Amino acid sequence: MKNNNTTKKYLGPKETEVIARLSYEKVSIITIKQFDDFFNFSPELRYQIIFRLRKKGILTNIKKGVYIFSPLESGPAGRNINEFLIASVLFPDGNYYIGYSTMYNYYGFTEQIYQTMFILNTTMQREKVISGLQFKIIKVSDKRMYGLEKIKANNAEVIISDKERTLVDLIYFPNPVGGLKKSFEIVKNQISNKKTDIRKFIKYASIFPSVSTRKRIGFIIDSCGLNSRKLAPLWKSIKGTSLITLYNTKSRKGRINKKWGIIENAAPK
């Protein structure tokens, strides 16, 4: 592998100019428009410089016309990029949110550090590796695009699921924390220790498209001894629906909870 000093010998004067300017500007992500604002290059020269810097690993393509800048002094691994910024670049119209395991860690539901970022959105389904980071881009219904908030990441705004919305997702997609049994424990802890807005949680749960998720959330909140009147919107949303099992196993043995329409089968070992 070539070291940085060897690489520098192969940099032309224009490439060196670009690296110096972008380093001075402390740029992490750059678009073609920004490139043209910084440098008075012809389109042909700009194309050649970007092509050469991509080959040398100094620019990494995110999508057409958008690049991550990793200056030479960052070393072979490149510069640490705030992965939250990638989502806003991929979806400039704001039809996305960062969710699932990324938010499970963000809100302290688990201490596990995940190697994959989930971006839920209304237009795209794919997996992508960008600058060594794994992204799972999941297309979802418009009906799931609620309970979101904006936070700052390197002076840019990015969209994430808020805490109560993330708890709904935790029951819908519990695999990252070890399954439903563990996700139930996390939800119980949040409710019992008054770490969550229970009214908001119930509101979000009652409009979530998955009936099974609504039933499981209702069951687990009910087990915490919450006043039944507060649970009324959630209970009404599942009234008259078919029985489901509490855990996603083949076994349908267990006590039937008629209120929530759940077979209380045993948790998988």
**Mean pLDDT across 101-120:** 94
- What pTM was computed for the model? 0.82
For 17-32, the DSSP string reads HHHHHHHHTT-SEEEH
pLDDT at 5: 47
Range scoring the smallest mean pLDDT among 28-42, 58-72, 152-166: 58-72
Question: Would you state the pLDDT for residue 76?
Answer: 42
pLDDT of the residue at 126: 93
User: Do 69 and 102 meet the contact criterion of CB atoms below 8 Å apart?
Assistant: no
**DSSP string across 6-59:** HHHHT--HHHHHHHHHHHHTT-SEEEHHHHHHH----HHHHHHHHHHHHHTTSE
Residue 260: what pLDDT?
Answer: 96
In this prediction, residue 231 has a pLDDT band, given cuts at 50, 70 and 90, of very high
What is the average pLDDT value for the chain, to the nearest integer? Answer: 89
Exposure string (b/e) for 124-161, b if CB count within 10 Å is 16 or more? eeeeeebbeeebebbeeeeebbebbeeeebeeeebbbb
C-alpha 174/C-alpha 248 separation (Å) is 11
Question: How far, rounded to the nearest angstrom, does the alpha carbon of residue 105 sit from its chain's CA centroid?
Answer: 11
For the chain, which domains are there? Answer: 4-74 (1.10.10.10), 84-161 (no CATH), 170-264 (no CATH)
Tell me what pLDDT residue 216 has: 98
| pLDDT value of residue 77 | 42
Q: What is the pLDDT of residue 80?
A: 57
Residue 81: CB partners within 8 Å, gap ≥ 6?
28, 29, 68, 131, 133
The residue with greater pLDDT, 29 or 236, is 236
* Token reading at 118: 């989930």
Distance CA(161)–CA(148), nearest Å, equals 4
- Residue type at position 78: G
Question: pLDDT band for position 9 (50/70/90)?
Answer: very low
The pLDDT-based confidence of 184 (bands split at 50, 70, 90) is very high
Q: Which of 161, 162, 170 is nearest to 189 (CA)?
A: 170
Closest of 14, 17, 87, 19 to residue 44, by C-alpha:
14
Q: Which residues pair with 97 in a beta bridge?
A: 120
Among 52-56, 202-206, 235-239, name the one with the lowest average pLDDT: 52-56
Confidence of residue 78 (pLDDT cuts 50, 70, 90): very low
pLDDT of the residue at 72: 59
Q: What is the pLDDT of residue 28?
A: 82
Q: List, in sequence order, every residue forming a beta bridge with 264; answer none if it has no partner.
A: 255
- Check whether 268 has a pLDDT greater than 70: yes
241 SS3 class: coil
Instruction: Measure CA 89 to chain center.
Output: 14
Which of 237, 246, 243 lies closest to 265, judged by CA?
246
From 10-14, 79-83, 153-157, 192-196, the region with the lowest mean pLDDT:
79-83
Percent above pLDDT 70 for the chain: 93
